[in-house]
Amino acid sequence: MKLDLECVRDILITLEQQSDFVRLSTHDLSLLLPQYSLNQIIYTCWRLYEGGYINLFLFYPPTNSSDPIIRCIGDLTFQGHEFLADIKPKSNWERLSYAFKQGSSASFKTIANVAIDLGTEALKIKLGLVTK
C-alpha cells in the first residue's frame, strides 16, 4: 500500500484537535476522516507509529499470530507535534505537496526535512529575519 501524505497530515491534525487524551479506535478515526478507507487509516497509523509520530495501544492476541492489533490510537508524540508544526500551515503544505502532485517522490525522512526547512523559512520571515 502507498503512504498517502494527505492522510498523514489529516490524521496528525485530527489527533491534535482532540480535546482530551486521545484514545480513538481505528473505526472512530475513520468516521472523523471519511475520505479515507479504514485500511488506509490503519496502514497510515502503523507507519506513523513506526516513525515515532504517534502512540498506539496494541493488543497481542493469545494465538500463534505474532502480529499485534491496534487497540486504539493515542496522542501525538513530541516528534509528531514538531512535524505537524512544520506541515500544518496551509502555505507550507501546499508548497510541499505540490512537488509530489507533479510526480516527485522522496523518502518520508526527506519530506520531513523539507518540511522543517519550510517551517524555519516561514518563522524567519515572520520575525523579519529574512525578506520574501
User: Of 30-39, 81-90, 106-115, where does the model show the most confidence?
Assistant: 30-39
Once rounded to an integer, what is the mean pLDDT over residues 101-118? Answer: 74
pTM recorded for the entire structure: 0.82
Q: What is the pLDDT of residue 115?
A: 79
Q: What is the pLDDT of residue 37?
A: 95
How do residues 13-57 score in pLDDT, each as one tens digit? Answer: 999 998 877 789 999 999 999 999 999 999 999 999 999 999 999
**Residues 6 or more apart in contact with residue 11 via CB below 8 angstroms:** 29, 33, 41, 44, 45, 48, 54
Q: Judge whether residue 64 has pLDDT over 70.
A: no
**How far from chain centre, in Å, is Cα 30?**
14
